[in-house]
A and B are shown apart, each in its own frame.
Chain A
Amino acid sequence: MIDVIHLSKTYHDSQRGEIAAVDDISFGCSSGEIFGLLGPNGAGKTTTLRMIATLLSPTTGTARINGHDIRTQSQQVRASIGFLSSTTGLYPRLTPRETLVFFARLHGMAFRQAKTTTDNLIERFGITEYADVRCEKLSSGMKQKVSIARALVNDPPVLVFDEPTVGLDVIAAAQTLKFVEEYRQREKCILYSTHIMSEAEKLCDRIAIIHRGSLLAIGSLEGLRNQTGKRYLEDIFLSLVSTPLEDLTG
């Protein structure tokens, strides 16, 4: 479903020169799997996900999403992805219902179909109560439910979550994680980026640890434990980050 192949992104800064935000990373994720991208702030997670969502173009390398190349088939890639990040906001002056209908229409649905899909999502996500209240008046937990529903409006095979629990309270964060798990059971391919170790531990089938734009390790939690000899993900992460890159790449 997701094949990331030697993906790199370099920015040019007039003072600092060339900056490699993402440096030659490769990984894959298949249906029914939650693949975690774990790293601290500024590690290159968001840049990677933005390239996958075709918001940014890679400097070198590419990725194939549901069989479509991000460089040459950006529209098909976006049609295959439901993207949600802590920065993807909702239109404050539209209601959840209007928002969902609008996005369904943008995905090419006829008005009647858009309405039916919206009604189903409203029911499934339990947002009936405030479906006709303007988004600006909703709590952050309510907004996040609407955002997830928005990302699923066209029932995409691939879901990309970029730190979806940032800024949420414990209950809202738990609900979000529940939805993510539910969609793994529906055989979706889920790419989940986070800097919260416990989330990655609880959710992800495989984890890639990213630091300063480079992938330090990939594997299941068990595999990473064996590789580092540490039990907790936090310790695994710290041991990897403190290990010089040359030692890891051999």
Chain B
Amino acid sequence: MKAINLPTIKEIVLKELKELSRDKKIIILAVVIPIAIYPFVFFGIDKLFSIQESKLKSIGATVSLTGDSAMLLPYLRDAEYTFTFVTARTPDAGLNELNADLAVEIESGKDSNRSLIWILYDGSRDESIMAYRHLTKHLELKRPEWVRDRIVESGLPVSRLPSFHIEMTDIASPEARSGHKIGKILPFILVLMLTSGCAFTAVDLIAGEKERGCFETILVTSIDRRDLIIGKFLVVLVTGLVSAFLNLLGMVLTLKLGLFQSREGFDFAFELPVSTLGGIFVCTLPLGILFAAVLMVFSAKARTFQEGQLYLMPFTLLVLIPTFIVALPDIHSNSYVILIPVANIAVVMREYLEKAVNVPFFILANVVNLAYAGLILNWAIGYLETEGSLVTRATAAPSRIRRFDETRASVMTFVLVWLTMYFIMAPLQEWNLIGGLLITLYGLILPASLLHVKILKLPFRETFSLALPHWKAWPAVVPMTLGMLSLAQWLTHYQMQILPFPESLGRIFQETFQPEGITVWFSMFLFGISPGICEELLFRGAILGTLRRKLTPFRYILISSVLFAFVHFSVYRFFPVILLGLGFGYIAFRAKSIYPAMFAHALNNIVAIHLLPKYIPHDMPVYWYLTGLPLLAAGVYVFESINRNRTDIKRKVMHHEFLE
């Protein structure tokens, strides 16, 4: 791969920043508004609250009293709120005929000395809600006085009145308390700031330049398109981060200056210690990369600046949705949340602000998000290198010949399958193993393989290697598979020294692969033949067949094997599965057919599940597994000889044609 040209990227970045700094819209959107908006917003809200509150207080509220409720009057005279009392026959009459804001009725208990104060209010009117809140608050304050008066009325000594006193202590530190509050809103604000910061620049730098004709001007120079895209991407990222940082600064300063006070109904007061800014930045960076990359693609898809702006609203809404997760009660970082882009950062950021950070999850969330960002950026670069994205579609329709880079498309297919397996199929298998496994294989992996080939418009038979192999390939598969299996066991043994396999997991494996109530034949179909067909169609068919078009055999077999290992969701089986994947890949490569690889896969699974536990003693010396080596060598010898024969035949044919 060609190295990127840093001086060119620097020139592009400097030129873009120079142009952007001369654009009033950018200055207003990215600098002035972030700094100025918070004092205005917070101060404005604060003022509005005060005005509205004093207005309502001065007007007061009319309370209709019915029946015995007049006995409440002595307790309500010193209320802070201005209440005007009227008497009505029924609460409804008070509300409807006398236009009262509240209606109060008391039902005295006949069998007990407990009274029920019944308050009717109108939840659709602020005046009624405000009056209701003040009335209940005041009555709560007066409850001891009321109880004492009732005791005195009944002639009992007040000293006999049983009582308790509640005293609450919040054990959270002020930082943690503040962090809990801010952690619920900061991710939301940061995502909004980042998207708005990146969005305008992204749209201007590609869609805007397309519209102004400048994009074509730079495309006809000799610079590498990737350098151009990286340069523009960096500018989008920088403006997004700067805008987010300025927003944060504006908010912190506004709150530090005390322009906004905490008040009932709008509890927004929080502290954001300067020491936390580093951690927040660490979390913001992968988000910025992710958003900048996606927005670049949206911008490239648009023909004009206006069209680019149209894409922004759905994108902003889409990325805001995962941030709402932090507002849910009892959400913590776990292995599920950590894989959801944006949500993972939101959760670990909240934990970080609450001083309850789980360091491995914090690192993992950022790494995962960075991986998503890298993947999207890689895809964005691939997409932006295609002619359809670069030249305005109004004058040049995109060619369908090379819409996606095939290698990237394979990785994307794998990621989609993997995410679906992790989030949907794994819980489904936990709920119902047999059904879940069948759905995973025949409802996800098999259709995904077919769809991948169809969408990329690849030749079906060639990609899946659906040719019949040389007859010798079939017997050669047997020693080869047994050899691979032995070596995989040997590898597992050494891996156990570093990363011991938990006993509980061993039991789970045993229960999974030997479930009760199914016959041996069905088990062979479920765990042997089905994965052999479906998984091979995906890994040695769709993925390997696509990678083969661009990469060398070593690379495409290795990459498909690593992806194959990832889909097995087990760190303990990772390297042994890679080894098996390499073997299946080699078989498909040398046999020029997927069928022997399917046979090898099915055979491997059946032997591993049904024969190994029964016939191989647990305490067998490790070196016995190395007996697999000659078996493997025998298999490789046959496959190589098949290939040699083919090459000879080809040479002979060519020689014959030449002579003719």
- 0/1 string, A53-77, CB within 8 A of B gives 1: 1011101000000000000000110
**Pairwise interchain contact A88-B213, C-beta atoms closer than 8 A:** yes
For A90, give its contact among B8, B214, B401 (CB under 8 Å).
Answer: B214
Cα distance A108–B5 in the bound complex, in angstroms = 10
| Given A78-B220, A88-B220, A107-B221: A59 and B213 interface contact (C-beta under 8 Å) | no
In the assembled complex, B80 has its CB within 8 A of some CB on chain A:
no
The answer to whether B395 and A87 touch across the interface, beta carbons within 8 angstroms, is yes
Q: Is A11 engaged at the interface, CB distance under 8 Å to the other chain?
A: yes
B22 within 8 A of A: yes
Instruction: From B11-19, B307-315, B438-446, B639-647, give the one contacting chain A.
Output: B11-19
Q: A12, A47, A94: which contacts B400 (Cβ < 8 A)?
A: A12
Closest to B223 in A: A106
Name B217's closest neighbour in chain A (CB-CB). Answer: A88
| Contact A90-B217, Cβ < 8 Å, known A11-B399, A55-B387, A55-B390 | yes
**Cβ-based interface call for B224 (8 A):** yes
A52 to chain B, nearest CB (A): 10
Tell yes or no: A183 within 8 A of B by CB. no
Q: Is B402 an interface residue (CB 8 A)?
A: yes
Chain A residues in 8 Å Cβ range of B224:
75
**Chain A min CB distance to B204 (Å):** 10
A202 and B400 CA atoms in complex are apart in Å by 40
Given contacts A55-B391, A105-B11, A106-B11, contact A150 B217 (CB under 8 A): yes
- Asked if A224 lies at the interface with its beta carbon under 8 angstroms from chain B, I say no
Q: How far is the CA of A197 from the CA of B402 in the complex (A)?
A: 37
Which of B12, B15, B213, B402 touches A94 (beta carbons < 8 Å)? B15
Interchain CB contact under 8 A, A56 and B214: no
Contact B216 A88 (CB under 8 A): yes
Q: Which residues B212-258 have CB closer than 8 A to chain A?
A: 212-214, 216-224
Q: Is A102's beta carbon under 8 Å from chain B?
A: yes
Q: Give the chain B neighbours of A102 by CB distance below 8 A.
A: 11, 15
Out of A12, A46, A106, name the residue touching B399 (CB < 8 Å): A12
Closest to B391 in A: A55
Q: Inside 8 A of A81's CB, which chain B residues have their CB?
A: 220
B19 touching A91, Cβ below 8 Å: yes
Residues of chain A lying within 8 A (CB to CB) of residue B390: 55
Chain A minimum-CB-distance residue to B402: A57
Q: Give Cα distance in the complex from A156 to B401, angstroms.
A: 31
Beta-carbon contact of A57 and B399 below 8 Å: yes
Q: Nearest Cβ in chain B — how far from A149, in angstroms?
A: 12
Taking a contact as CB atoms under 8 Å apart, the answer to whether A56 and B213 are in contact is no
Cβ 8 A contact of B387, one of A56, A91, A106, A147: A56
| CB pair B401 A59 closer than 8 Å | yes
The answer to whether B221 and A87 touch across the interface, beta carbons within 8 angstroms, is: no
By a CB distance below 8 angstroms, the chain B residues around A76 are 222
Is there an interface contact between B395 and A46, defined as CB atoms closer than 8 Å? yes
Question: Does chain A have a CB within 8 A of B424?
Answer: no
Question: Is the pair B396, A56 in contact by a Cβ cutoff of 8 Å?
Answer: yes
- Say if the beta carbon of B419 comes within 8 Å of chain A: no
Bound-complex Cα distance A106 to B222 (A):
8
Residues on the B chain within 8 Å of A85, using CB? 216
How distant is the Cα of A97 from the Cα of B40 in the complex, in angstroms?
A: 41
B397 within 8 A of A: yes
Asked if residues B220 and A91 are in contact (CB atoms below 8 Å), the reply is no
Choose among A13, A87, A98 the residue that contacts B216 (Cβ–Cβ < 8 A): A87
Cβ of B516 < 8 Å from any Cβ of A? Answer: no
Nearest B residue (CB) for A53: B220
Q: Which A residues are in CB contact (< 8 Å) with B78?
A: none
CB-CB under 8 A from B402, the residues of chain A are: 57
Question: Nearest B residue to A10 by beta-carbon distance?
Answer: B399
Residues A56 and B222 in contact, CB atoms below 8 Å apart: no
Interface presence of B264 (CB below 8 A): no
Bound Cα distance from A83 to B222, whole angstroms: 11
Which chain B residue has the least Cβ–Cβ distance from A80? B222
- Residues from chain A with a CB closer than 8 A to the CB of B19 are 91, 93-94
Which of A50, A75, A87, A150 is B222 in contact with, Cβ under 8 Å?
A75
B518 → chain A, closest Cβ, in Å?
48
Of the candidates A57, A79, A93, A108, the one whose C-beta lies within 8 Å of that of B23 is: A93
For A114, the closest partner residue in chain B by CB is B11
**Of B7, B209, B221, B395, the contact of A103 (CB 8 Å cutoff):** B221
User: Does A126 lie at the interface of the complex (its beta carbon under 8 Å from any beta carbon of B)?
Assistant: no
Chain B neighbourhood of A89, CB < 8 A: 209, 212-214, 216-217
A11–B8 touching, CB < 8 Å:
no
Q: Are A107's CB and B387's CB within 8 A?
A: no
CB distance from A40 to the nearest CB of B (A): 15
By CB atoms of chain A within 10 A, which of B214, B218, B222, B399 has the most?
B222
Q: Are B397 and A11 in contact (CB under 8 A)?
A: yes
A92 on the interface (CB 8 Å rule)?
yes
Contacts of A87 in B (CB 8 A): 213, 216, 392, 395
Q: What is the CA–CA distance of A1 and B512 in the complex, to the nearest angstrom?
A: 70
Closest Cβ of chain B to A106, distance in Å, is: 5
**Which residues of B, 1-52, contact A by the 8 Å Cβ criterion?**
7-8, 11-12, 15, 18-19, 22-23
- Taken together as a complex, chains A and B put the C-alpha atoms of A39 and B223 apart, in Å, by 31
B218 → chain A closest CB, angstroms: 7
Task: Give the distance to chain B from A166, nearest Cβ to Cβ, in Å.
Answer: 12
Q: Which residues of chain B are near A94, meaning CB under 8 Å?
A: 15, 18-19
Among residues of B, the one whose C-beta sits closest to the C-beta of A86 is: B213
Q: Residue of A at shortest CB range from B390? A: A55
A41 CB to closest chain B CB (Å) equals: 11
A57 to B214, Cβ gap below 8 A?
A: no
Chain B residues with CB under 8 A of A75: 222-224
Interchain nearest-CB distance for A172 vs B (Å): 17
Bound Cα distance from A98 to B390, whole angstroms: 24
CA distance A135 to B224 in the complex (A): 26
CA distance A134 to B22 in the complex (A): 10
- Inter-chain CA distance A94–B213, complex, in Å, is 14
The interface residues of chain A lying within 8 Å CB-to-CB of B219 are 55
A62 to chain B, nearest CB (A): 15
The smallest C-beta distance from A155 to any residue of chain B, in angstroms, reads: 13
Q: Cα distance A154–B223 when bound, in Å?
A: 13
Q: A75-B222, A78-B222, A88-B216 are in contact. Are A57 and B11 (CB under 8 A)?
A: no
Q: How far is the CB of B364 from chain A (nearest CB, A)?
A: 40
Of A46, A79, A81, A102, the most chain B CB neighbours within 10 A belong to: A102
Contacts of B23 in A (CB 8 A): 93
Chain B: which residue is nearest A9 at the CB level?
B399
- Report B390-429 CB contacts with A as 1/0, cut-off 8 Å: 1110011101111000000000000000000000000000
Query: Which residues 369-403 in B have Cβ within 8 Å of A in the complex?
Result: 387, 390-392, 395-397, 399-402
Mask, A191-216, CB within 8 Å of B = 1, is 00000000000000000000000000
Cα A26 to Cα B164 with chains together (Å): 100
A78-B221, A89-B209 known; 10 new pairs, CB 8 Å cut-off, are A11-B397, A11-B399, A56-B387, A87-B392, A88-B217, A89-B217, A91-B214, A103-B221, A106-B222, A134-B22
* A residues with CB within 8 A of B: 11-13, 19, 46-47, 50, 53, 55-57, 59, 75-76, 78-79, 81, 83, 85, 87-94, 98, 102-103, 105-108, 134, 147, 150, 154
What would 15 A/B residue contacts be, using CB atoms closer than 8 Å?
A: A11-B399, A12-B397, A47-B396, A50-B391, A57-B399, A87-B216, A87-B395, A88-B217, A89-B216, A90-B217, A91-B212, A93-B18, A102-B11, A106-B8, A106-B12
Chain B positions near chain A (C-beta within 8 angstroms): 7-8, 11-12, 15, 18-19, 22-23, 209, 212-214, 216-224, 387, 390-392, 395-397, 399-402
6 interchain residue pairs of minimum CB distance: A89-B213, A79-B222, A83-B220, A93-B22, A11-B397, A78-B222
